Amino acid sequence: MDPIRVQLQNVLSGPITARIQFGLAGVMVNRSLFRDVSTAVAGNSTPNGRLFPIRVVVNPGLRSNRAFRNALTGVVISPGIDAQYDGTTNSFIFSNPCLATLDARALAVHESVHAGFDLHRVKITAIDDEAAAYIAQCLYLIYAGHTFGTGMTPTFTAAAAAAATVARGLQITSGQIADLRAALWNDPNYTEIRKKTYQYTHDG
Ligand SMILES: [Zn+2]
């Protein structure tokens, strides 16, 4: 098995991720963002020197520290895989050293959106940060051939609806964005982002 860093790079530079493209709150999520994250994960700064290396670590303790959700439905389960991007230490943290499953790869794409926004010092509320990450995660699932089933959380349901619109080549509607923001606002996993002005650490 490749090191987790290489597995993550393979996801970021793969054909499924390359199809993800949409705008939200004035920010673009596209293959160029994922390519920059892959460059940073390789340990390189970009040629203009503005971007920085990002570490990739495995910490099984992440499971016990954080709620553990099915990345296909958002439902809390145990055991499984979980992941996090930490903008203060510029690190991906995975609880499992293997990105072999579809849900693990989709979750890696989700965290890569947070990493890309940190890399580019994007000013965006934490709610919209999560909204973009969930839409990218759902687009990865759609482009990988996954069909959404029943039993999804409100956050996943709203993100999947927005992603389906993007997959049809259309713009995400303002109603879909409002639904996703409302779902995140009421999501028990994200109580810390409820302050409307709250932003994740995007200090580069
Ligand atoms: Zn997130």
How far apart, in Å, are the Cα atoms of 1 and each of 4, 99, 198? 9, 10, 39
pLDDT value at residue 17: 98
pLDDT tens, residue by residue, 139-149: 999 999 999 99
Report the distance separating Cα 65 and Cα 60, nearest Å.
9
CA 130 to centroid of ligand 1, rounded, Å: 5
CA 46 to centroid of ligand 1, rounded, Å: 24
pLDDT value at residue 79: 44
pLDDT value at residue 65: 52
CA 144 to centroid of ligand 1, rounded, Å: 20
CA 194 to centroid of ligand 1, rounded, Å: 14
Q: What's the whole-number mean pLDDT along residues 60-68?
A: 63
Write down the mean pLDDT value for the chain. Answer: 88
CA 44 to centroid of ligand 1, rounded, Å: 24
CB distance 81 to 71 below 8 Å: yes
Closest C-alpha among 92, 122, 65, 89 to residue 6: 92
Record the tokens describing residue 164, joined without a space: 């389906």
CA 83 to centroid of ligand 1, rounded, Å: 9
Q: What is the Rg, in whole angstroms, of the alpha carbon atoms belonging to the chain?
A: 16
CA 133 to centroid of ligand 1, rounded, Å: 6
CA 131 to centroid of ligand 1, rounded, Å: 8
The burial class, CB within 10 Å (0-12 / 13-18 / 19+), for 183 is: buried
What are the residues whose beta carbon lies below 5 Å from ligand 1 (ion)? 130, 133
CA 7 to centroid of ligand 1, rounded, Å: 20
**Which residue's structure tokens are 């790079």?**
9
CA 110 to centroid of ligand 1, rounded, Å: 6
CA 103 to centroid of ligand 1, rounded, Å: 14
CA 152 to centroid of ligand 1, rounded, Å: 17
**Which residue's structure tokens are 């958002």?**
74
CA 190 to centroid of ligand 1, rounded, Å: 9
Q: What's the whole-number mean pLDDT along residues 122-142?
A: 96
pLDDT tens, residue by residue, 163-181: 999 999 999 999 999 999 9
Residue 95 pLDDT greater than 50, yes or no? yes
For residues 112 and 87, the model is more confident at 112
Helix (H/G/I), strand (E/B), else coil: 162: helix
Report the distance separating Cα 91 and Cα 61, nearest Å.
15
Residue 167: Cβ within 10 Å count: 16
pLDDT value at residue 20: 98
CA 24 to centroid of ligand 1, rounded, Å: 15
Record the tokens describing residue 155, joined without a space: 């956050």
